[in-house]
């Protein structure tokens, strides 16, 4: 008989997934069978495989020790390695379930094939490990939203499975409001909405608006179909050849803001990938996720980074975000 107490970070994880993480070599079908046969109990009672565990729940599994040892081989490999990983992050808000971080431009949100250690989420893991709050191999805190490498601003991290699930639900149901600040080329005098379908070119790491001459119309069997995307914008202040705007992201497609604003003739300052011109040494988009409002009423903000403020002055724009 194996007994485990569910930790706060594991709260919200479904029963079958919890056991799967404990015993990665055990067939999933056998896990379902164990649950159905009452060989798995939570606080002494039988539960469905979809039951969401809560912190403090006592999980009991009737399985031979030898079988459990064989099924658990590899679980130790899931432990996070922190050697050489920095733990410095700009914490905007933190409680037992939620962590809100202000990501700097130039830092990946998640590891990719070229970078495994120097990312925001690995720094978050190192930060929580240093605080003694990353005590489980069953769940690793993860971000609910992702920002491009050169986009700065707010990233939401679920410290528990339950909070991560809640954040993802709010995003999917569009109950979470996200606002960005950016500088675009040209003069924008009125607020507006760009409602144009987008399609991804993964090889070129680009997003395109669906339309004549662009993919995504489904005109051939091999052609991908575009996804709906809506972006709202409003001008805040005009400068010398540029306009500072606030953007509300209604949907959350990759490179959506950059693509949509290029499509209406106002590419982001410095965004050479999407039609923008370099601005001095700035050859990437100046885009900052400055405010997020959650469905539960909480709102978080992040100040503009120094480079952004410097460029504003050079553009003749005197502006500061509200506290």
Give per-10-residue mean pLDDT for the chain (323 aa): 77 86 84 91 91 87 79 60 82 96 94 76 91 74 91 95 88 93 96 93 86 53 74 95 96 92 96 93 94 96 95 92 73
Question: What is the rounded CA–CA span in Å between residue 289 and residue 152?
Answer: 6
Dist CA 85 CA 55 (whole Å): 29
Q: Do 127 and 39 form a contact (C-beta atoms < 8 A)?
A: no
Cβ–Cβ under 8 Å, residues 285 and 270:
yes
DSSP 3-state of 35:
helix
Asked whether residue 305 is assigned to any structural domain, the reply reads: no
Same-domain pairing of 290 and 225: yes
Question: CATH code at 274?
Answer: 3.30.2350.10
Residues 289 and 200 in one domain: yes
Measuring CA to CA, how many Å separate 281 from each of 148, 152, 269, 277, 311? 19, 17, 12, 11, 10
Collapse the DSSP code of 40 into the 3-class scheme (helix H, G, I; strand E, B; otherwise coil) and give the result.
Answer: strand
Alpha-carbon gap, residue 22 to 59, rounded angstroms: 12
Q: How far is CA 283 from CA 106, 115, 279, in A?
A: 12, 21, 7
In terms of DSSP bridges, do strands 142-143 and 151-158 run parallel, antiparallel, or are they unpaired? antiparallel
Predicted pLDDT of residue 296 = 94
Which pair of structure tokens corresponds to residue 206? 């680009």
Residue 111 in any domain: the answer is yes
Structural domain boundaries enclosing 99: 91-172
Same domain for 203 and 287?
A: yes
The distance in angstroms from the start CA to the end CA of the chain is 55
Is 148 among the catalytic positions?
yes
Model-level pTM? 0.78
pLDDT for position 137: 62
Indicate which residue of 49, 90, 148, 177 is catalytic.
Answer: 148
Q: How many domains does the chain have?
A: 3
pLDDT at residue 84, as a whole number: 74
Same domain (yes/no): 128, 29: no
Look up residue 21 and give its DSSP letter: H
User: What is the predicted pLDDT for the residue at 19?
Assistant: 87
Q: Are residues 196 and 237 in the same domain?
A: yes
pLDDT value at residue 217: 52
**Do 48 and 105 belong together in one domain?**
no
């Amino acid at each position: 008989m194996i007994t485990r107490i569910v930790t706060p970070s594991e709260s919200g994880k479904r029963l079958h997934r919890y056991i799967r993480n404990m015993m990665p070599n055990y067939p999933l079908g056998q896990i379902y069978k164990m649950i159905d046969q009452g060989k798995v109990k939570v606080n002494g009672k039988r539960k469905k495989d979809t039951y969401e565990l809560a912190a403090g729940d006592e999980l009991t599994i009737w399985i031979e020790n030898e079988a459990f040892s064989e099924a658990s081989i590899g679980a130790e490999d899931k432990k996070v390695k922190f050697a050489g990983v920095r733990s410095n992050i700009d914490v905007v808000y933190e409680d037992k379930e939620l962590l809100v971080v202000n990501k700097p431009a130039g830092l990946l949100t998640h590891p990719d094939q070229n970078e495994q250690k120097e990312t925001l989420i690995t720094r978050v893991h190192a930060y929580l490990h240093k605080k003694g709050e990353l005590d489980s191999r069953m769940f690793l805190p993860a971000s609910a939203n992702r920002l491009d490498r050169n986009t700065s601003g707010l990233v939401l991290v679920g410290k528990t499975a339950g909070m991560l699930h809640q954040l993802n639900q709010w995003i999917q149901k569009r109950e979470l409001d996200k606002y960005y600040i950016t500088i675009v080329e040209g003069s924008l005098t009125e607020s507006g909405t760009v409602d144009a379908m987008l399609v991804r070119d993964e090889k070129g790491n680009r997003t395109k608006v669906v339309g004549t001459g662009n993919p995504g119309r489904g005109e051939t069997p091999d052609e991908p179909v575009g996804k709906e995307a809506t972006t709202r914008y409003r001008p805040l202040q005009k400068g010398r050849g540029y306009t500072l705007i606030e953007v509300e992201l209604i949907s959350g497609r990759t490179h959506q803001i950059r693509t949509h604003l290029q499509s209406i003739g106002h590419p982001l300052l410095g965004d050479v990938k999407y039609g923008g011109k370099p601005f001095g040494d700035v050859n990437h988009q100046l885009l900052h996720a400055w405010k997020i409002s959650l469905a539960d009423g909480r709102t978080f903000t992040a100040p503009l980074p120094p480079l952004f403020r410097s460029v504003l002055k050079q553009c003749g724009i005197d502006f500061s975000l509200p506290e």
